[in-house]
Structure 1
Amino acid sequence: MRRAYADTRERVLRRLDWAFPPEPVDLEIVRRVPQHKTDKPPILFVHGLGHAAWAFDEHWMPALAERGWPCYAVSLRGHGNSGSADGATLRHYEHDVMQAVIELPERPVIVGHAAGALVVMRVLERYAARAGVFVAPVPAHGGVGIARRMATRFPGDFAKGLLARPLRWRKEHFFSDKLDDATAQRYLRRFESPSACNQYEMLLPREPRPSKAPVFVIGSRDDAFVPPRDTERTALSYNARLRMFVGMGHSMMLDAGWEEPLKAMEAWLERTVLD
């Protein structure tokens, strides 16, 4: 009996979590809810490094709320208007997402972008959300492909990353040429530099574990960070439906043509969580 309890505890709450639990922080949660009563479940958005909750509130959240989806976006600790946290790791961000989930009115769909998708993968190993969506995800199996792509396309920035120096974000990192320069610069001024710990942690190989929720993966063949092969491999690891776009940058929810991946995601959600 004791062994069975220990095994259950290990699956639900990892040894490191119950031995050294992350300290909670005040989290910024941006809300966009429909004006009318709806039967659609809430959607919780989790941003990637350098972004914050605002990135989803530019386009995706208002559009979905108009169509009856209650939308929430959390700024992970150290991002946006959430509490600061030196040395935060993926484990701390995972805690932040679960802290945000607890505040929602019902079990949500969880959408993660880039490194935020990596956090959501970890959450879905233990929490049965209504569904999970990975947008331009950092690969479930490790970021060697990202490092190789960065070294090829942006060798100077890659060298800075290796030396744990803060990166200066540029339009070509996140957006396509279709997005006008003024809008791109407005977004870039809001981006934040990730910590060296986060940059290194994303590169570590890790065996993907089964998700407790159905998963949909969205990517771009022209993503400056995540190679298409890695996005395809992530989808295969989760036995997930995959939709790849062409001509879009890494920050698909902000780039020109943001409506197309949003339509694909909403169509999948309607078939998966509403039927």
Structure 2
Amino acid sequence: GVEWCGVVASSTFTPPHDKTIKLEIISQKSANDDAGRKGVQIVLVHGSYHGAWCWKDTFMPYLSARGFDVCALSLRGHGTSTVPVDEETGERAKVAGSLQTHADDVRTFLESLGDDKQVVVVGHSFGGLIVQQVLADQSTNGGPSNVVGAVLACSVPPSGNQAMVGRIFKAAPWLSVKITYAMITDAFKKDANLMQDIFFRGPGSLPDTESLRILERLQEVQIRMLDVAALPNDLPVKTPKSAASGNWPPVLVLGAEQDSIVDSDGLRETADAFCTAPLTLAGIGHDVMLDAGWETAAEATADFITKRTV
């Protein structure tokens, strides 16, 4: 069922391969039908610790005002989506899913939108890696795809985050140790300054009220998105550069100048893999949809989509 909250509707999607899961979907229709973007549907995919909520007050109204229908989903275990259960123990699963599970969830949702839609999928951080897997599955399996473009924003590169973590440690050992410790122990969920060090431009990036609001949302996630230790077994993800063939949509690779998680080499790796040049946004941190200056990221996304769709 759909409940209308102003112009934002809430619904759920059950992936056909797993009837135990309901994914949270929030949707906003175009607020500008004169823009002529009727057939385009933008789908936003969040990264670790986040949910559909992270796009709701920024990218969604912005893209709606630019004439696009837009929706955001919460991956399993995030937002109000179902938290998976370990079949053997009946307890909450240790991780929300594998890279392939999440990609299958997203891919089947995109397919459910229908062939009459021009779908553009936007993935942030680890959500970007999931989107890369979706593109690989769709492009190399020769199946029909309604995806006409993708945006990878501060995305984990196709080889994963291990090399990146090593590089950041060499470049800034103290910050790197602090971030790694905060991620392993979830300490950033209790410390607004630490949270802003990781996801934003450092303490003071956001007004206190906004910082605390985001901290509360990050605390809601009680499960890891992926088993990062096992992830290298599933990598690298196939890309246009590594796949001999395939029908790949155009991709915008967006980076943030003050990103503490994805470094410039990681950004370049993703751009090279998709045979494009990265666009780096000045004065903004990793969470390009929540940091002050998010409009620059939303504008770059909308401009790319406008050029690539009818």
Q: Which TM-score band applies after superposition, normalised by the shorter structure?
A: 0.7 to 0.9
User: Of the candidates 267, 273, 295, which is equivalent to residue 237 of structure 1?
Assistant: 273
Deviations 1:159-198 (A, max 9, x none): 465xx54443412111124422321221121013552843
- Structure 2 counterpart of 1:115: 126
> Contact 2:39–2:118 (CA<8 Å) still a contact in 1?
no
Classify the secondary structure of the residue corresponding to 2:227. Answer: helix
- Structure 1 counterpart of 2:9: none
| 2:21 is the alignment partner of 1:25 | yes
User: Of the candidates 194, 199, 206, which is equivalent to residue 235 of structure 2?
Assistant: 206
The one-letter code matched in structure 2 to 1:110 is V
| 2:45 is the alignment partner of 1:46 | yes
TM-score, normalised to structure 2, is: 0.74
Classify the secondary structure of the residue corresponding to 1:108. Answer: strand
> Contact 1:115–1:202 (CA<8 Å) still a contact in 2?
no
- Structure 2 counterpart of 1:140: 158
- Structure 1 counterpart of 2:297: 261
Classify the secondary structure of the residue corresponding to 1:255. Answer: coil
User: Of the candidates 174, 190, 197, which is equivalent to residue 172 of structure 1?
Assistant: 197
Map of 1:26-105 to 2, 5 A cutoff?
A: 26-35=22-31, 37=33, 38-85=37-84, 86=93, 87=95, 88-105=97-114
Q: Once the 2 structures are TM-superposed, how far is the Cα of residue 142 of structure 1 from its aligned partner?
A: 2.1
The one-letter code matched in structure 1 to 2:263 is P
> Contact 1:167–1:193 (CA<8 Å) still a contact in 2?
no
Q: Which shifted more, 38-47 or 171-180? A: 171-180
Query: d(CA) in 1 for partners of 2:300 and 2:32?
Result: 24
Query: d(CA) in 2 for partners of 1:25 and 1:221?
Result: 37
Q: Which shifted more, 257-266 or 99-108? A: 99-108
- Structure 2 counterpart of 1:188: 215
The CA RMSD over aligned residues, in Å, is 2.4
The one-letter code matched in structure 2 to 1:200 is A
Deviations 1:135-165 (A, max 9, x none): 000111221243232682141442465xx54
TM-score, normalised to structure 1, is: 0.83
> Contact 1:175–1:255 (CA<8 Å) still a contact in 2?
yes
User: Any unmatched runs of 5+ in structure 2?
Assistant: 1-16, 85-92, 139-144, 190-194, 241-247
- Structure 1 counterpart of 2:308: 272
> Contact 1:142–1:204 (CA<8 Å) still a contact in 2?
no
Map of 1:7-26 to 2, 5 A cutoff?
A: 25-26=21-22
**4+ long deviations beyond 6 Å:** none
The one-letter code matched in structure 2 to 1:158 is T
> Contact 1:112–1:133 (CA<8 Å) still a contact in 2?
yes
- Structure 2 counterpart of 1:155: 177
Classify the secondary structure of the residue corresponding to 1:34. Answer: coil
1:34–1:160 distance in 2 versus 1, CA, 3 Å:
closer
Classify the secondary structure of the residue corresponding to 2:228. Answer: helix
Equivalent residues, number: 252
> Contact 2:283–2:293 (CA<8 Å) still a contact in 1?
no
Query: d(CA) in 2 for partners of 1:71 and 1:197?
Result: 26
> Contact 2:43–2:120 (CA<8 Å) still a contact in 1?
yes
Query: d(CA) in 2 for partners of 1:237 and 1:228?
Result: 14
The one-letter code matched in structure 2 to 1:183 is E
1:268–1:136 distance in 2 versus 1, CA, 3 Å:
same
> Contact 1:74–1:100 (CA<8 Å) still a contact in 2?
no
Q: Once the 2 structures are TM-superposed, how far is the Cα of residue 240 of structure 1 from its aligned partner?
A: 2.4
The one-letter code matched in structure 2 to 1:130 is V
Deviations 1:182-220 (A, max 9, x none): 212211210135528433355668334235211100011
Q: Percent same amino acid among aligned pairs?
A: 27
Query: d(CA) in 2 for partners of 1:213 and 1:113?
Result: 17
